[in-house]
Amino acid sequence: MLIRVDPASGVAIYDQIAASVRADASRGALRPGDRLPAARELAEALDVNVHTVLRAYQQLRDEGLVDLRRGRGAVVTDAAARGSELVGAVRALVAEARRTGVPLPTLLSLIREEFTT
């Protein structure tokens, strides 16, 4: 698992960390039961504050994607693997949007609207 962050990005570092974990889980690079790096180790590797990593892990916990336990660390849950089933459908949707000239903001709006109804 490789987590990269861009400090110059307008996206908060903890959001970038959480997004990276989500993406790895969706692609199948992380499986249920896998342990994420210890927060302190990841913070050192990324040269960020440990609380930034903990905030990302807490966000993932709140989404049900990881289980946080003292002494055990962050462990990927079964829920994290569910996104992997959608990867093919998402790729097909994006390909169709590109083929028909639907711009990304429009596609995202359509997805948000459909998701919330």
Domain boundaries defined on the chain: 13-83, 85-116
Note the pLDDT of residue 59.
Answer: 96
Q: What is the DSSP letter of 4?
A: -
Is the per-residue pLDDT at 86 higher than 70?
Answer: yes
Instruction: For residue 109, name the pLDDT band (cuts at 50, 70, 90).
Output: very high
Is the per-residue pLDDT at 1 higher than 80?
Answer: no
Q: What residue has token string 């003292």?
A: 70
Note the pLDDT of residue 70.
Answer: 81
Is the per-residue pLDDT at 10 higher than 80?
Answer: yes
Q: End-to-end CA distance of the chain: give it in Å, rounded.
A: 35
CA torsion, ordered 53, 57, 59, 60, to nearest 10 deg: 140
CATH architecture of 13-83: Orthogonal Bundle (1.10)
Which one is predicted more confidently, 31 or 100?
A: 100
pTM: 0.75
Which one is predicted more confidently, 48 or 90?
A: 48
